[in-house]
Amino acid sequence: MYQNVCDEFIQLGGVYIKFLQGVLLRSKIMRQWSNPERLKIFENLDSEPLDIMAILRHEIAPDALRQIAGVQPQPFAAGSFGQVYYGQLSNGKPIVIKILRPMVRELLRYDLRLLSIFSRRFFSKLYPNMDLNINEAVRDFISATLRETDYINEAAFARELFEHYKGHPTFIIPETYLELCTANVIVQEYIGGVSVAQLIRLQAQGVDPKTYILEHTGSDIDVQLETLGFESLNGIFNLKRIQGDPHPGNVKLMSGNRVGLIDFGIAAATPLNKSALYGLLKEWNELYTDSRSIVRVFEQFMRFFVSDLYRSLKKLSSVSQDRPTESNFTTDIGEVAQETFSHVMGGQDVKQLLHDGRILQIINEMVNKDNRFGLVMKLEASEILRAAQTYMTLVETLGRRGEVLPKVFSRVVAAVERDHPDVIHQSDDAISVSDALETVGSWLERVAERDPLLFHQLMTRIKLKTTPVQISEIKNA
C-alpha cells in the first residue's frame, strides 16, 4: 500500500510531490517506500516544455529585461510548482530563473481538498504517541502550500534573508533581484556546490559523504552541517521568520566550509514564546554535558509542545497548600516520566542513548508510548517544528548526528544567553484557576482511561488532594 501511494503521488506531481517532500524522511511509513528514485522528489523532477523567453517578455518590463543577457532554453531543475533555468546578467553574473508552472494556482485548491482527506488519516500515523489536532495540522499544511505559489512574497522573503546574512563568511543566501521578479518569475544569483540530495544518492551507492565533500570541495561536512543548524536555530531568536524547508535539495555544500540555502517558498514564522524553545534546547543540551535525568527535559517538552497543560499545572502549583515553594506539579510529572523511562530502559546510560540525538523520540516512543500521559500537542509553531525536524533528519541521513547536534545545541544556548537575556526570563501567558482546573481535569481523564496505573502514580506523586480544590471538583470541571 505504501509503495502504491508514493508511486502514485509522484505520477500526480505538484502538491502531491510537496506532501512527499514534507514527510518522506521523517515517516516510518515512507521509509518503507523502496523506490530507488525516491530522492528524485527533492530536485530534478520532470519538467514540461515552456517558451522561457516568451514568458520573460510577457512578465518583465523591457527596460528591466535588458539586464538579462541570456537564458538556456531548457530547465536544469524542476520542483513541485516551478521550473528553474540557468541565465546570465549583462554584467556576466550567473543567475537562476524560477518560473511558476502554468495552471498551478488554478488546480492547487482542488488538489489540496483531495489531499486533505488522505492527510487526516496519514497524520495520525506520524505521531502515534501524541494526540494531535488533525484539522489544525491539515490547515497548516494547506496554508504553507498555498504560500509557495506566492512568488512576490517568496522573493521579498529571500531578499530579507540575503540582507541579514550577506556579510556572513560561511552561511550563503543568494541575492534576489526584486526588479526582475513578478508574480510568476523569481530571478536570483546562482550558487554552486553539491546538493545534499545528490550526496545522499551517492551515499546510497556506497560513497562516504564526509570523504566525498572533502575531496570535491575541500570542506568539512560536519562544520557545514553545524553552521546550517546553528544559523537556522539561532535565527529563530533573531528573525521574524526563517527558511522553513531545509530539505536535501535546498542545501548546497560549497568550498571553504560554506553552506548555502536555496528555495524560500516556505517561511517559518518564529514562535511567540521563544523562552519555551530556549528552555527545551537548554535542557536538551544539558543531557549532552552533565545531567543524566530527563525530568527537566520532560518539563520543557510539555512547556513547548503542550503549553496549556504546562501553564495549568504551574497555576495549580502556585495555589496549592503545604508544598515547598520550589516544588511544582510539572516537576512531579517529570519525575514520573523519569521513573517510566528508567523502567523501560533498565538502567541503561542516557549518555549512550543521546549519542544519536534522539531524546525527543525517546520521550515520545518510550516514555509516552501509546500516549499514556494523555498529551495533546499544540501546533502554534508547526512550521518551525517541521523545519527543525527536516534539518535533524537530514543530518541523521548523512550519519552525522552525534558529531553535529551536540555542538549546534551548545552554540545556540550560549548565543541566546549572550544576546537575548530577555528571552531567558520571558514569562508564560497567565491562566485563570478555573481554566487550569478544566485543562488538568480533562488531562487526568485521558490518563485514567489510557493507563490507570500511571494515573495512580501521578495522583500519588502530585498529591493533588492537598490543593484548595478537591479531586471531586476537578472531575466535575
pLDDT tens by residue, 202-220: 998 999 999 999 999 999 9
pLDDT of 127 over the 60 cut: no
Q: Taking residues 344-356, report their average pLDDT.
A: 61
Better pLDDT: 146 or 136: 146
CATH architecture type of domain 49-102+154-190: 2-Layer Sandwich (3.30)
pLDDT of 23 over the 90 cut: no
pLDDT of 380 over the 80 cut: no
Spatial contact of 271 and 164, defined as CB atoms under 8 Å apart:
no
pLDDT of 22 over the 80 cut: no
Q: Taking residues 381-397, report their average pLDDT.
A: 81
Task: Give me the pLDDT at residue 47, please.
Answer: 74
pLDDT of 124 over the 50 cut: yes
pTM of the model as a whole: 0.81
Spell out where 337-438 has E strands: 376-377
pLDDT of 73 over the 70 cut: yes
Question: How confident is the model over 79-90, as pLDDT tens digits?
Answer: 778 899 999 999
pLDDT of 31 over the 70 cut: no
Question: How confident is the model over 357-374, as pLDDT tens digits?
Answer: 556 666 666 677 777 888
Give the number of other CB atoms < 10 A from CB of residue 476. 11
Better pLDDT: 379 or 149: 149
Smallest CA-to-CA distance from 99 within 43, 47, 169, 25 is with 47
Q: Taking residues 213-230, report their average pLDDT.
A: 98
474 pLDDT band, cuts 50/70/90, is: very low
Task: Give me the pLDDT at residue 294, please.
Answer: 76
Which alpha helices (H) appear in 127-220, and where do they start and end?
Answer: 134-147, 151-165, 196-204, 209-217
Out of 12-26, 254-268, 325-339, 377-391, give the one with best mean pLDDT: 254-268
145-149, 306-310, 333-337, 377-381: least confident range: 377-381
pLDDT of 477 over the 60 cut: no
Rounded mean pLDDT of the chain? 82
Pairing mode of beta strands 376-377, 131-132: parallel
The three-class DSSP label of residue 148 is: coil
Smallest CA-to-CA distance from 262 within 325, 326, 192 is with 192
- The kind and range of the H/E element at 68 are strand 68-71
385 pLDDT band, cuts 50/70/90, is: confident
**% of the chain with per-residue pLDDT over 90:** 38
Better pLDDT: 326 or 247: 247
CA distances from 256 to 95, 252, 318, 432, 460 (A): 21, 12, 53, 54, 58
Domains of the chain by residue range: 2-42+107-127, 49-102+154-190, 274-380+400-476
Smallest CA-to-CA distance from 300 within 414, 400, 413 is with 413
Question: How confident is the model over 409-421, as pLDDT tens digits?
Answer: 999 999 999 999 9
- In the chain the first and final C-alpha atoms are separated, in Å, by 44
pLDDT of 39 over the 70 cut: no
